[in-house]
Amino acid sequence: MKKSLLLALPAMLLATSCVDSLDDYNVDPKQASVVPGQTLVSNAERALARNVVSSSVNVNTFRFFVQSWAATTYADESRYELNTRNIPLNFWSPLYRDVLRDLKEAKTLIAADITITNPKVKANRLAIIEVLEVYTWATLVDTYGDVPYTDALDFSKPQPKYDDDAAIYADIINRLNTAIDQMDATAAGYATGATSPDLINNGSMALWVKFANSLKLRLALTIADVDGAKAKTLAEQTAGKTLAANADNIDLAFTTFPNSNPIFEDLVRSGRKDFVASATLVDRMNALNDPRRDDFFKPLAGTGTPTVPPVYKGGVNGNANAYASFSAPGTKLESQTAPAVLMSYAQVKFMQADAASRGFNVGTLTAEEHYNAGVTASIQEWGGTVAEATAYLAQPGVKYSDAASGATPKEKIGVQEWIALYNQPVDAYREWRRLDSPKLTKANLARTDIPFRLTYPIIEQNLNTTNYNAAASAIGGDNVGTKVFWDKL
């Protein structure tokens, strides 16, 4: 044995002398040693879409906050209990870990990629990443207030400081402006087609330009109550550059398991029956004979003699509602391929209606015309017709110019946008706080009012104590009643 080993040693030495390092033996020549930047972009897009559309009570309970849905057996989350399931952490972590970290690494890899020889293509790809980052940072600020920003994602700073929420907004607006200036819709971005790594816009730079400007409009209006002059300037810069039809909706289309829509996973694949319609939304839609009801919810079968027509009935928020007694979420939501919408044309039209009502010049249409277009777009998005939208808009409770209702333009826009954002719960939660409409009453048996923000994850209190304490003090207390900087009216 010893002889064999001694005879083998020269050959081993000869072999090792032919390589620069033993590390070479740890590289599989058949496998990529570095994840491509565009793959990280795909992963980030998917994680972002799943987070904002999820119906899991472990992650996204905003449908309870805005009272689109009510709970059945387990009602704690509908009463704003956040910590039992670590909801603040479960919403926070994917945005930092799965979205922002992947985008940061993708940006580094794409910037250094010598195979991207066209500078306009590289600039477009980097600008897309920047838009996704801005969208994600805005989501974090809108949800929590002050958050780690300048120190975030830096492995040398495991205990990052928190940045002021208004300062973060100012910076991401600047970053978004730079990204918009950097985009060239005449040049390519990511590849198009069925295998495109761009899961949101399928490589369409025209859509990315529209998305970026629509996001800019959203950020502008979000700060409108605290900095009207800046909001006006920003909003007016987006005129004619935003989403222009339902076909422009910014969404990620899911496929089949394991890439199916998370709502399908929660409502169908799990076999669970945890949610029913909220009476707050259904009663409003019933009163207006809203044509979207049969898409939003399943009707209860008619009963009695003669048979009463099918009805839409919502449960009480905060109660443990019996599933069989109330309307369940509609079949369109149960499709495993249903898209997750990050920005809709209807949403843009309501924002433009709000902007025009404030005196901002965002195009040639009046506030009422933008509002009507938003309602029509939403009804068509859910499968309705222009005729249905026209009839709906003629009702006193919907008509923008109906003075008899006593509602202000802001209130009318708020109510209709709230309905339109039915399956965009994160957006619905932000817009409800921003527009202070509709007027909602806290859930039955809730220990607090409807939250104005999520509290910080408990792990931050334990592992980043000094910075957590400073942030909690800066915002006025880490509780659900504290408002983010733009929510002051």
- 315-344 pLDDT tens trace: 999 999 999 999 999 999 999 999 999 999
Helix or strand (DSSP H, E) at 70: strand 69-71
Q: Is the pLDDT of residue 455 over 70?
A: yes
User: Considering the entire predicted model, what is its pTM?
Assistant: 0.92
Residue 1's pLDDT is 38
Identify the bridge partners of residue 148 per DSSP, sorted by sequence position: 162
pLDDT mean across residues, the chain: 93
CA dihedral of 280, 283, 286, 287, whole degrees rounded to 10: -110
Residue 258's pLDDT is 87
Helix or strand (DSSP H, E) at 343: strand 340-343
Task: Tell me phi and psi for residue 340, to 5 degrees.
Answer: -100, 120
Residue 199's pLDDT is 97
E strands, 168-293, in order:
250-252, 275-277
pLDDT band at 32 (very low <50, low <70, confident <90, very high): low
**DSSP conformation class of 98:** I
State the Cα–Cα distance between residues 75 and 409, nearest whole angstrom. 34
For residue 120, the SS3 value is helix
State the Cα–Cα distance between residues 55 and 47, nearest whole angstrom. 14
Which of these, 234, 207, 139, 216, lies nearest to 427 by C-alpha position?
139
Identify the bridge partners of residue 333 per DSSP, sorted by sequence position: none
Helix or strand (DSSP H, E) at 69: strand 69-71
- Average pLDDT of the residues in 208-219: 99
pLDDT digits (tens, 9 = 90+) for 73-111: 999 999 999 999 999 999 999 999 999 999 999 999 999
Residue 457's pLDDT is 98
Identity of the amino acid at 218: R
Q: Is the pLDDT of residue 5 over 50?
A: no
Residue 16's pLDDT is 39
Q: 200: Cβ–Cβ under 8 A, 6 or more apart, which residues?
A: 45, 49, 211, 250, 251, 252, 342
CB 410 within 8 A of CB 433: no
Neighbours of 44 (CB within 10 A): 25
Task: Tell me phi and psi for residue 413, to 5 degrees.
Answer: -60, -45
DSSP symbols for 373-395? HHHHHHHHHTT--HHHHHHHHTS
Lowest mean pLDDT among 55-69, 133-147, 255-269, 396-410: 396-410
Residue 313's pLDDT is 97
CB 143 within 8 A of CB 453: yes
CB 80 within 8 A of CB 480: yes
Identity of the amino acid at 408: T
Q: In the chain, what percentage of residues exceed pLDDT 90?
A: 87
Q: Is the pLDDT of residue 304 over 70?
A: no
Angular region, 322: left φ>0, alpha ψ -120 to 50, beta rest: beta
Q: In the chain, what percentage of residues exceed pLDDT 70?
A: 91
Q: Is the pLDDT of residue 163 over 90?
A: yes
**Roughly what angle, to the nearest 10 degrees, separates helices 409-420 and 279-287?**
110
- Average pLDDT of the residues in 265-282: 96
Residue 441's pLDDT is 98
pLDDT band at 17 (very low <50, low <70, confident <90, very high): very low
State the Cα–Cα distance between residues 396 and 417, nearest whole angstrom. 17
Characterize 315-346 residue by residue with b for buried, 16 or more Cβ atoms within 10 angstroms of its Cβ, and e for exposed.
bbbbbebeeeebbbbbeebbebebbbbbbbbb
pLDDT band at 31 (very low <50, low <70, confident <90, very high): low
Residue 14's pLDDT is 36
Give me the residue spans of the domains in the chain.
243-253+342-441
State the Cα–Cα distance between residues 367 and 373, nearest whole angstrom. 10
Residue 216's pLDDT is 99
Q: Is the pLDDT of residue 10 over 80?
A: no
Residue 198's pLDDT is 98
Residue 8's pLDDT is 38
Lowest mean pLDDT among 220-234, 254-268, 402-416: 402-416
- Average pLDDT of the residues in 370-391: 98
Q: Is the pLDDT of residue 215 over 60?
A: yes
pLDDT digits (tens, 9 = 90+) for 338-372: 999 999 999 999 999 999 999 999 999 999 999 99
Residue 127's pLDDT is 99
pLDDT band at 193 (very low <50, low <70, confident <90, very high): confident
**Could you tell me which CATH number the domain at 243-253+342-441 has?**
1.20.120.840
Strand bridging mode 69-71 / 147-148:
unpaired
Q: Is the pLDDT of residue 15 over 50?
A: no
DSSP symbols for 137-181? HHHHHHHHSSEE-SSTT-TT-SSPPEEPHHHHHHHHHHHHHHHHH
Q: Does 405 or 366 have the greater pLDDT score?
A: 366
Q: In the numeric block, which tokens belong to residue 140?
A: 């974090």
Task: Tell me phi and psi for residue 362, to 5 degrees.
Answer: -110, 25
Angular region, 363: left φ>0, alpha ψ -120 to 50, beta rest: left
